[in-house]
Amino acid sequence: MLFKLAFRNILRNRRRSVMSIGAIAVGAIAMVLFGGFVAIIILGVQTDTVRRTGHLAIYRDGFFTFGSGNPAAWGMQGYTQVLDMVKQDPVLAPMLEVATPTVSLFGIAGNFAIEASRTFMGAGVVPQDRDTMRRWNPYQLTYNNAADSGLDAADPTKGVVGTGLARILGLCEALKLSDCPPPQAKEKLDTPVSTDIAALADSEKSANAEPVDTRPHIDLLAATAGGAPNVINMVVTRADRQGVKELDDAMVLMHFDLAQQLLYGRGEKRAIAIVLQLHSTADMPAAKARIAELIRTRNLPLEVRDFIEISPFYGQVTGMFGAIFTFIAAIMGVIVLFTVVNTMSMSVMERTAEIGTARAIGLRRGGIRRQFLLEGWILGAIGASAGLLIGIGIAMIVNRSGLTWMPPGQSAPSPLAVMVDGMWKLHAGIWLGLMVMTTLAALLPANRAARLPVVDALRHV
Amino acid sequence: MHRRTFLAAPALLAAAPALAQTAPIAPQAMVAAADAIRNPGQPFRVTSTLTDYVGGRPRDKVVLVVFAREDKKTGQFNNLVRYVEPPRDAGKLVLYAGSTLWFYDPASKAAVRISPQQRLTGQASNGDVLTINMQRDYKAAMVGPEAIQDADRQSRNCWHLDLTGGPDAVYSRIEMWLEQGTHRMVKGKFYSDSGRLLKIAYYRKYIEQLGVQRPSETILIDAVDSALVTTVGSSDMRPQEIPDAWFQRDFLPRLKIEG
Amino acid sequence: MTDPSHAVRLDAVEKTYEEEGLRVTALAGITADIPRGRFVMIVGPSGSGKSTLLNLIGCIDRPSKGSVEVAGQKIAELSDDALTDFRARAVGFVFQNFNLFPVLSAYENVEYPLLLLGLGARERRERTMAMLDQVGLADQARQRPNQLSGGQKQRVAIARALVKGPSLVLADEPTANLDSANGAAIIALMRDVQRQHDTSFVFSTHDPQLMSHADETFSLRDGKLVGHHVAEAV
């Protein structure tokens, strides 16, 4: 009976009810679409991040907090055993896509033929593993498909640098980059040449001359973990644009073996990190817990970190979008609140005489309140449901429309998509949230209706 | 870091007197003898003049006073270097104690540690060459007699030795040419862990300093940045009593050197 | 417990309220007993306090001073919810403007009080249909109030007021919006019910036709009881 009464009262002023339902529905639509859009963006950032850094990294205990300025001092002893332990563990093995060792180091990169040099940040990776990691794509996002890494599994002397570093080291033309700077005018000394010094230097040069190689080379100098100066020569196969300028001006990606050679020299060869990429991000908490358990039970001086810790950008993007979504949801909620309060207040005012009559006949205050709350609730249910369905429908149309856009940090357009599958938590949340909002909104007018003095209400025409 | 960092004068440890022999002695003894030529066996001071050449043209000149003393316990040589010229660097100090390098600027009264990464290039890298202790840190093997040209393009009969660095040695390998008989260092080639040639050194202008013929000029050629050459001239070598405190980092701000 | 002799007992009942800062006395001490099972009229010029008195008797308002007892129940003892429940059981209302629920059909309007009492579906159905029959609107059961004439609407209202068998029915100007033919029909209807169920009726009215049916009349002026006339028994 109560429902029947509530429905009929809602239908009484059709236009007003439709407007309220419309406002609620628009709120639902906006959040379905925005929520789905954000979800895709975050999955895109996740895909990028996991391709680059994997899901988890195992370091020597303390490296993550203290060691990034001096990786040489934080090498993992016996890293091959740790690698085997991870690959053979019955819990981890089925979750694992790839487990690979890496080295990071600092030093000076130089093209001394033209007297150009700069400090560099180096990463040594295993090329085959790196290529496997770059193919990770469980969310079927079609942008930024992995090219090869630029390294050669068979030839450790080959490597890749950032485009900024390539320009600074004068490799611009050799690597066919655009925006090559004009050749630097060399510092002209006008002091007379010291002939014996010059002759000595020249004779050494010719004695030590190496066969001419037309490929672009750079020298990489670094101090070994033991503190000795070390230098290797690397063939630069290409320059890759890095997302961040500081990285672009300093990045050198090299073969794991070459990096180990440079960083450890004659000492014991270690790794700085063991990087793990899983099949699915959902397995990450379990994998991390398992690794922590292994570390604990075997008393290893190691720590494990996940990509959210390692890549603050991911956390920042997720956080920012989360904040924006919350903000938009709050605004929608307030609009819904105001609309419903307004609608119901008008309804209460118009039905003052009826309220008085019902009270006189014997309906309790609580009964009046319940009546109006129910009407608000029904408005909310219809509005939220309609909004959800329409929103999902629009999302599906957008997904099939073939529209594209350029996400930040990408260099190629990607399809404009709104996540709908598997978003049930978002959708349920939107529905419930709007329901709560409308019921709350109806509470104020409902209370007012309930507290109307009967006599005054009846006096109302 | 300041480009013109410390450059220690040729100074070292292992106090064995110079030997003059005609028959070949054991290679390790030879390098010990070579070390002894550069080391007076007592605390001393010496004035070092460093000149940078780029493409054969002189560019920068620095004058330093070096105070050196052997730490009897470790056999390590400690060096305290004071800048004299150019005037804008005058008074700056560099402390080389053990394997740690400290730089002190009286203007800021701050002592800064120079890490191995910061000693890869520039004058700090030359310091590693000049302060090697061959006898202590390297194992010498004989390659054979060889006649090579010295820095003045004179042919000299030398013993060609191949030195392998221990775990703490700066260079993983050194090729050293010692003059036969006198065991004077004529030429050295210094290699990194990767096998690449890092530095070439020529030793010449042997003059009497503190009673022994010592090289008063070392020519250092950078094998990586091949345009760079540095000459290190040493003069006015005299004995000097050096208190322990001078080699402590905390004492640097209070250091008063006269003369 | 129910006092069989009186529908309503008023004892020194006063009602004052604030209006724009001024204290207004609507009723200035009314003491009266209203017998049960009678057609009782409350008459007086406008502003005399008729409506106020009716509200107090109808238990939809409380006196500022004095006591009101309806069907043996002292209303001062009851909380608001208890008072509401009491009204649901014992008091029926007929309004000048009919006050039917516009979204409900005639049948549903009449059924409404029975829902408040929590009666079962079958009993509700029986009593509602019987009531509609009695007021002659069985055929209009499904029609909404906006489809009924004034007379029909008032009959629905009466059916609604009576369907629960109240002890007391209050009617404020029940014939004011009806023509004389409908008015007569309504009055006859109420008389029937009064006789059948011994229901007490309290009216406030100007209608001479209705007043001519009064068993007892209370006259009010300026909030005071100035007259009490009992008609001769018929």
**Distance, in angstroms, between C75 CA and closest chain A CA?**
14
- Mean pLDDT is lowest, of A203-207, A429-433, B241-245, for A203-207
Residue A180 pLDDT > 60: yes
Helix C150-162 vs helix C106-116: crossing angle, to nearest 10: 20
Cβ A196–B168 below 8 Å, yes or no? no
Residue C37 pLDDT > 50: yes
Burial of A257 (0-12, 13-18, 19+ CB in 10 A): middle
How many A/B residue pairs have CB atoms within 8 Å?
125
The beta-carbon neighbor of B194 closest among A117, A196, A261 is A261
Element at B89 (helix H, strand E): none
Q: What is the mean pLDDT of residues C6-32?
A: 86
Cβ C116–A361 below 8 Å, yes or no? yes
Residues A31-40: tens digit of each pLDDT: 999 998 888 8
3-state helix, strand, coil in chain B (%, to 5): 15, 45, 35
Quickly tell me which residue has 């005489």 as its tokens: A353
Residue B9 pLDDT > 50: no
**Distance, in angstroms, between B150 CA and closest chain A CA?**
9
| Angle ∠(A241,A242,A245) on CA atoms, nearest 5 | 110
**Residue A386: what pLDDT?**
94
pLDDT confidence bin for C112, thresholds 50/70/90 = very high
Residues of C in contact with A366 (CB under 8 A): 81
Report residue A25 CA to chain centroid gap: 30
Residue A186 pLDDT > 50: yes
Tokens of A354: 């009826």
Residues of C in contact with A359 (CB under 8 A): 60, 84
Q: What is the mean pLDDT of residues B210-225?
A: 85
Residues A211-221: tens digit of each pLDDT: 667 788 899 99
**CA-closest candidate to residue B61, choices B40, B86, B42:** B86
Q: What is the mean pLDDT of residues C193-220?
A: 87
Tokens of A204: 């050494």
- The pTM of the full predicted model, rounded to 2 decimals, is 0.71
Report residue A203 CA to chain centroid gap: 56
Cβ A191–B59 below 8 Å, yes or no? yes
Q: What is the mean pLDDT of residues B222-235?
A: 86
Quickly tell me which residue has 């628009």 as its tokens: A26
At a CB cut-off of 8 Å and minimum separation 6, what does A284 contact?
A55, A56, A278, A306, A307
**Distance, in angstroms, between B115 CA and closest chain A CA?**
8
Burial of B15 (0-12, 13-18, 19+ CB in 10 A): middle
Over its C-alpha atoms, chain B yields an Rg (Å, rounded) of: 17
Tokens of A258: 């070459």
- Mean pLDDT is lowest, of A50-64, A317-331, B18-32, C57-71, for B18-32
Mutate to test the interface with C, among A17, A355, A357, A370 (most CBs of C within 10 A): A357
Residues B26-64: tens digit of each pLDDT: 888 888 888 888 777 788 888 999 988 887 788 888 898
pLDDT confidence bin for A159, thresholds 50/70/90 = very high
Cβ A191–B229 below 8 Å, yes or no? no
Name residue C11's beta-bridge partners: C67
3-state helix, strand, coil in chain C (%, to 5): 40, 30, 35
Is C99 in contact with C157 (CB distance < 8 Å)? yes
- Mean pLDDT is lowest, of A305-309, A386-390, B106-110, for B106-110
Phi, psi of A200 (to 5 degrees): -60, -45
Restricting to B residues 150-209, those with a Cβ less than 8 Å away from any Cβ of A are: 151-153, 165, 167-172, 192-194, 196-198, 200, 202
DSSP string computed for A10-25: HHHTHHHHHHHHHHHH
End-to-end CA distance of chain C: 30
**Residue A82: what pLDDT?**
92
Residues B94-110: tens digit of each pLDDT: 888 767 788 888 888 88
